Amino acid sequence: MHFLSPESAFMRGLSTVIDAVWITILMIVASLPAITAGSALVAANYAARRSLAGIGHVTRDFFAAFKSNFMQATILWLILGIPGAALIVLWIVVRSWALLAPQLIATCFWIISFEWVWWLQARFANSLVGTLKNSLIFGLTKWPYTVVIVMLDCFIFVLLFASMAVMPRGLFLLALVAPGGLVMVKSAILNYAMRSYVA
């Protein structure tokens, strides 16, 4: 098979990279009013899953999911965003050994929920409370997958900061590919982790 054939591994890989870049752009545009970032994350997860499955159209899928999940995703964003901001302030400002253990526990639960909730909202129809509850249940019971996706986030952040210091000219390209690519990789991992529920 010729490497320029639409069915070749090279062309499929190139198509995936292009989709990742476009998902990044769509997420940025849809998140410009910060209040809509939750809906953008849900829409990105939905579009990424369908792109990896080779179905649908990224732009159409993104905006369809953005619209249909807007209300619940926005509330989820506020529910997670406000405590998340409070935790950041606590870690920066508060220096108390007495609060260290509660801060660590709260931060761990917040990270687990944040990593899972957008994929779950994009994949399943559930109540607000049910989605939040399931994000913790699945995040804890399927902890190896949670650890992997958290490590992926950390790796991307380190890569971005390293690029700023070592190769700043490559930062734009990395920033263009990384967010959408990360969503696609994490979507594939969580889809595999939940294969018994989504088969």
Does residue 4 lie within any of the structural domains?
Answer: no
Location of structure tokens 């992997």: 148
What's the pLDDT tens digit per position in 133-165? 999 999 999 999 999 999 999 999 898 888 887
Q: Provide the domain limits for residue 151.
A: 9-198
Is it the case that residue 11 has pLDDT exceeding 70? Answer: no
Does residue 121 lie within any of the structural domains?
Answer: yes
Report how many domains make up the chain.
1
Does residue 148 lie within any of the structural domains?
Answer: yes
Does residue 188 lie within any of the structural domains?
Answer: yes
What's the pLDDT tens digit per position in 86-113? 999 989 988 778 888 889 999 999 999 9
For residues 28 and 30, give the distance between their C-alpha atoms in angstroms, rounded to a whole number. 6
Confidence (pLDDT) at 123? 95
For residues 81 and 91, give the distance between their C-alpha atoms in angstroms, rounded to a whole number. 15
For residues 71 and 85, give the distance between their C-alpha atoms in angstroms, rounded to a whole number. 21
Does residue 3 lie within any of the structural domains?
Answer: no
Does residue 81 lie within any of the structural domains?
Answer: yes
Alpha helices per DSSP H over 31-142: 37-52, 58-68, 70-93, 97-123, 128-141
Burial class (CB in 10 A: 0-12, 13-18, 19+), 185: middle
Does residue 1 lie within any of the structural domains?
Answer: no
pTM, full prediction: 0.90
Better pLDDT: 110 or 177: 110
Please tell me whether residue 49 adopts helix, strand or coil conformation. Answer: helix
Does residue 2 lie within any of the structural domains?
Answer: no
